Amino acid sequence: MSEPTRPTIPAARPPSLVSGGEPHHASVTPVGGVAEVHEQQPLVGQDLRTEELVFNMGPQHPATHGVLRVVIKSDGEFVQGLQPHIGNLHRCCEKIGESVPYYQWIPYVDRMDYLAAMCNEHIACMAVEKAAGIEVPERAEYCRVIVAEVQRILSHLFAMGVYGLDLGAFTPFLHQFREREKGLDLLDHISGGRLLYHYVRIGGVKRDFTQEWLDELEAFLAAVEQRLPEYNTLLLSNHIFQQRTAGVGVIDRSACVRWGVTGPALRAAGVDFDVRRDAPYGVYDRFEFAVPHGHSGIAGVVGDCFQRHWVRTQEVEQSLRIVRQALKQMPQGPVMGKVPKSLKPVAGEVYVRGENPRGELAVYMVTQGEDKAWRARCRGPSFSNIAVITETAKGTLLADLVAAIGSLDIVLGEVDR
Amino acid sequence: MQQWLDQLAGSGLLAGLPRGLVYTMGAVGACTLVLLFASLLAGEVVWLERRVAGRMQARIGPNRVGPQGLLQFLADGLKLLGKEDVIPAEADKPTFLAAPVIVFMGAFAAFAVVPFGYGLVPADMNVGLFLILALTSIEVPGVIMAGWASNSKWAILGSMREVAQMVSYEMPLGISALVVALLAGTLNLSDIVAQQEGWIWNWYVLRGPFGFVAFFIFFTAALASLKRAPFDLPEAESELVAGFHTEYTGFRFAVFFLAEYSAMILFSMVTAVLFLGGWSPGFPVDLTGPAGRWIGFAVLFAKTAFLLFTMIWVRWSLPRYRVDKVMYLCYKVLLPFSVACVVGAALQVLVGDAVGGAFGRWLMGR
C-alpha cells in the first residue's frame, strides 16, 4: 500500500479552454451559485461537453452533523467548489439575551453548543459576573472546572465516535456512547438534565458535590481512561482510517489565522494555543496540563484530519488530568456567592473568552444599568471553523469533504445561535 | 440432478409421464427450493448481521420476534410491504420498475449451478464457475438503471461508483478463480469439490502458496463486488445518503436488500466450494450416499456460515475506503497479485506433472 498522501487531483482546466473567461472552478457564490449551475459549460477538448453537477448536501444529510446545507459543485467525485449555507437552526439566542434578565439567559446559552452546555454556561456566567463585579467562591470555581472538563471529555468522545461514523466505521460510535452514557448520567445526577444542565449559575454553581457523586465521577474517569486506548486502536491506529484522514483536509496555520479557526483544529495546525493556559480564566492557572498540538512526529500532515482527531484523543487525557488535580485541590466552602436579587450591572462592556471543546467561545456584553443586556453577542467557534471548509475542500474528493467536515466537529446550534 | 430425475421417472409414481415433463417439473421444483433456501437464508443472514453487530457494539440487537429474534426478517419484510410505494415524479418509470428485478435476477440465478452437496446441484454444468461470474455481473446494468432512473443526484453518483467498482473487481475475482480452474482442470463446481476430497491439505487454499494467496484475493474481491464494508462506497451512508437505492421504498427496497444478502451467501458458498473443499469435511469420508450428501450439505453450510460471519465481522470493524483507494487496491495490488498467482499455479501444475507420484498429483491439484 502506498504511504498516506493526498490523491492526485486533476488540475483545474486551464482558463484558455473556458470561453467565458471566468474560470468555472471559481467558488460558488452564495445564492447566485445555484442559478449559475444550469448555465451550460463550454466545450472541453473539441468534442466533449461536460457539465458540472451541483447538488445540495443537507440540510437532511447524515454527514452534515445537524442541519448544515452545503451546495457542492462537483465534477464527478471531485468537489470543485462549495458553499455552506447556514441558518437552519437559528434560535435568536443573542436577541433573547437582550430581552430577558441575565439569569434567564443562561439556560439559552446551553442550547447554543448543545454538546458542551457546561462550558457555555461557564463562560456566559463569567461574562455576567465580570459585568456585575460578582465574586465567585473558590469551591464553586473548582466545581465549574470539573463539570466543564467532564463535558469536554464527553464532547470529544462524541466527536471521535461520530467521526468514525463519517468514515464508515459504525462500531467506535456505539462504543463511545457506552462511556458517554455514564458521563451524561453523572451530569444528570448533579444538575437534573442530561444534555442542557443550567448547573453553573451567576455567582457560583447550583449544588455542591456529594460524596456519592464524587465516587461516581471517579468511576467515570477510570472507565474513560481504560477505554481510550481501545478507541485509539479502533480508529487512530487503523490503516484505513489513516489512509482516509492523513493528508486530507489540511488547514494550515495561515488559513487558521485568516478564517479565525480555533480549538483542536487550530492546535492540529501546529499552533500551541489554548485559552485555558494562555489566557486563563477561573482557576485554570492552577493546573498542570499539556496543550497537545499537531506536529510531524505522528502520522499525517500538520493540520490534517488525522491530526485533528489525534489532538482530541490527547485532550481527553489532559482533561482527565485536570479533573483529578481539581479534585485534589478543591477547598471546602460555599458554592454560591452573594448575588443581588435584582442584577443591574452599571453601564459598560465586557468581553470574556474561554476554551470550549470546539474552540474559543467568547461572550461580549454591553450593559446599560438595566436588568438585561443592551447587547449580548457570542463568538462561536463552530461558526468560524465551518467557514474554512470553503477553502479546504475545494478540489478534493467528495469523501474527503465528508472527512473534513467531520473532523472540524461543528455543532450547528452554535453556528446559527 | 438428471440421474435423480431419471430414477424418479423410472420409479412408480411418475412412471407414466413423459420424460420432458418430469424434467420441467424437476427444474421448477429445484428453482423453488433454491429460491426459498436463498431468500430465507438471506433473511437469517440479516438477523445474524444485526445480532453480531449488536454484540460487537455492546448492545443486544433484535431478540424479540421469534426465538432469539430469528423471525425478525419476516416482521421487517411485512413492514416494508406495508410502506407506501413511492415512484419519484421525475423518474423514468419503466426503468425504475425493472431495475430491482434485474438486480434480484442476477443475485439469485447463479444459485442454479452451486453444488449444495454431492449431487445436490440444480444444474450440474461444466461451465459452472464461468456462469456464476457471468450471472453475478447482471447486477451491474440493474444498478445503473436504478441510479439513472431515480433521477436523483445521489443515486447517480452511487450507481457510478458501484459500476466502476464492480467492473474493476470482477477482474481480480475472475483471475483468482482461474487459479482454482487451472489446478482443478475444470470449471464444473462439483468436480472441483470432488478433487478436494480427502485430507484437509487437498483443499485448494492449502495446496501451495498460489491457492492460498488466490483465496484471499478472491474473498477481498468478493467483498468489493458485494459492496460490503470496507468497500461499501456505492451506498456510503455518510457520503451518498443511500447510493443507488436512495429513491426506492417499500418492497422494491426490500428486493435490493434481499439481493444484496443472497449475493453474500452466494459468494460465501462459491468461496467455500472453490477454496475450502466444498462439502468435504477435511478428512477422507464418503459423502456420496443418500444420507452422506446431506451431511456434506451441512459441512458446506458451516463453511459458508463462517465466511458470512467473517464478512459481517469485517464490516463492523473497519472504516470505509475512499473511492480512489479502492481503485488503487484493485488495479495495483489485487490484479497484479492475482495474475502472478495464475502464472504460479500454471508452473505448479507443470512441476507437479514432472515430479509425478502422489506429491506430484497433489501439486497438480488433481
- Ordered DSSP codes for B21-50: HHHHHHHHHHHHHHHHHHHHHHHHHHHHHH
Residue of chain A whose alpha carbon sits nearest to that of B326: A240
Q: Which one of B163, B239, B321, B333 makes the best mutation probe of the A interface by having the most chain A beta carbons within 10 Å?
A: B239
> In 3D, which of B42, B142, B156 has the Cα closest to residue B91?
B156
Long-range (24+ apart) CB contacts under 8 A made by B55-61 are B56/A171, B56/B313, B56/B316, B56/B317, B57/A170, B57/A171, B57/A174, B57/A175, B57/B316, B58/A174, B58/A175, B58/A178, B59/A174
Tell me which of A8-22, A175-189, B121-135 is least confident: A8-22
Grade residue B93 by pLDDT with cuts at 50, 70 and 90: confident
Cβ–Cβ < 8 Å for A372, A95: no
pLDDT for the residue numbered B21: 80
Residue B15 has pLDDT above 80, yes or no: no
For chain A, give every domain's residue range: 1-51, 83-416
Q: Nearest 5 degrees, angle CA A136-CA A142-CA A144?
A: 75
pLDDT (tens digit per residue) in B17-50: 777 787 788 778 878 888 888 888 888 888 888 8
Residues of A in contact with B229 (CB under 8 A): 168
pLDDT for the residue numbered B4: 66
pLDDT for the residue numbered B336: 92
Whether B60 and chain A come into contact, CB under 8 Å, resolves to: no
> What is the CATH T-level fold of the domain A83-416, as seen in this structure?
Cytochrome-c3 Hydrogenase; chain B (1.10.645)
Please tell me the distance from the alpha carbon of residue B157 to that of residue B180, in angstroms, as a whole number: 35
Q: Which residue's C-alpha cell is 431495475?
A: B99
pLDDT for the residue numbered B210: 87
pLDDT (tens digit per residue) in A386-411: 888 888 877 788 888 888 888 888 88
Cβ–Cβ < 8 Å for A103, A201: yes
Grade residue A47 by pLDDT with cuts at 50, 70 and 90: low
pLDDT for the residue numbered A12: 44
pLDDT for the residue numbered B366: 67
Cell digits for A305? Answer: 484530519
Residue A154 has pLDDT above 80, yes or no: yes
User: b/e map of B2-11 (b: 16 or more CB within 10 Å)?
Assistant: eeebeebbee
pLDDT for the residue numbered A132: 87
Region B162-170: mean pLDDT is 87
Which residue in A62, A167, A178 is closest to B58 by CB distance?
Answer: A178
How much of chain B, in percent, has pLDDT values that exceed 70?
94
> In 3D, which of A411, A373, A415, A342 has the Cα closest to residue A196?
A411
Grade residue B60 by pLDDT with cuts at 50, 70 and 90: confident
pLDDT for the residue numbered A20: 39
Q: What is the DSSP letter of A375?
A: E
For residue B102, the distance in angstroms to the closest alpha carbon of chain A comes to 26
Asked if the Cβ–Cβ distance from B322 to A244 is below 8 Å, we say yes
Residue A220 has pLDDT above 80, yes or no: yes
Whether A166 and chain B come into contact, CB under 8 Å, resolves to: yes
Task: Enumerate residues 280 to 339 of chain B having a beta carbon within 8 A of any beta carbon in chain A.
Answer: 316-325, 328-329, 333
Whether B53 and chain A come into contact, CB under 8 Å, resolves to: yes
Highest-scoring range by mean pLDDT, A141-145, B81-85, B183-187: A141-145
Q: Which residue's C-alpha cell is 478543591?
A: A330
Whether B85 and chain A come into contact, CB under 8 Å, resolves to: no
pLDDT for the residue numbered A48: 64
Region B219-233: mean pLDDT is 85
Please tell me the distance from the alpha carbon of residue A166 to that of residue A164, in angstroms, as a whole number: 5
How much of chain A, in percent, has pLDDT values that exceed 90?
15
What are the Cα distances from residue A213, in Å, to A187, A218, B68? 9, 9, 38
Average pLDDT of chain A?
A: 82
Residue A22 has pLDDT above 80, yes or no: no
Residue of chain A whose alpha carbon sits nearest to that of B236: A168
How much of chain A, in percent, has pLDDT values that exceed 70?
88
pLDDT for the residue numbered A7: 46
Region A328-336: mean pLDDT is 88
Which residue in B233, B319, B324 is closest to A164 by CB distance?
Answer: B319
Whether A171 and chain B come into contact, CB under 8 Å, resolves to: yes
pLDDT for the residue numbered A322: 92
Q: Which one of B318, B332, B333 makes the best mutation probe of the A interface by having the most chain A beta carbons within 10 Å?
A: B318
Residue A28 has pLDDT above 50, yes or no: no
> In 3D, which of A167, A158, A60, A160 has the Cα closest to residue A114?
A158
Residue A311 has pLDDT above 80, yes or no: yes
Asked if the Cβ–Cβ distance from A168 to B320 is below 8 Å, we say yes
Residue B268 has pLDDT above 70, yes or no: yes
Region A358-373: mean pLDDT is 89
The total of other beta-carbon atoms located within 10 Å of residue A19's CB is: 10
Cβ–Cβ < 8 Å for A231, A169: no
Asked if the Cβ–Cβ distance from B321 to A243 is below 8 Å, we say yes
pLDDT for the residue numbered B203: 86
Asked if the Cβ–Cβ distance from B318 to A238 is below 8 Å, we say yes
Which residue in A61, A241, A397 is closest to B323 by CB distance?
Answer: A397
pLDDT for the residue numbered B247: 80
Region A35-54: mean pLDDT is 58
Region B322-326: mean pLDDT is 84
Global pTM value: 0.82
Region A339-353: mean pLDDT is 86
Q: Which residue's C-alpha cell is 423471525?
A: B71
pLDDT for the residue numbered B246: 79
pLDDT for the residue numbered B155: 84
Please tell me the distance from the alpha carbon of residue B63 to that of residue B233, in angstroms, as a whole number: 30
pLDDT for the residue numbered B236: 67
pLDDT (tens digit per residue) in A246-295: 888 888 888 888 888 998 989 988 888 888 888 888 888 888 888 888 88
pLDDT for the residue numbered A53: 81
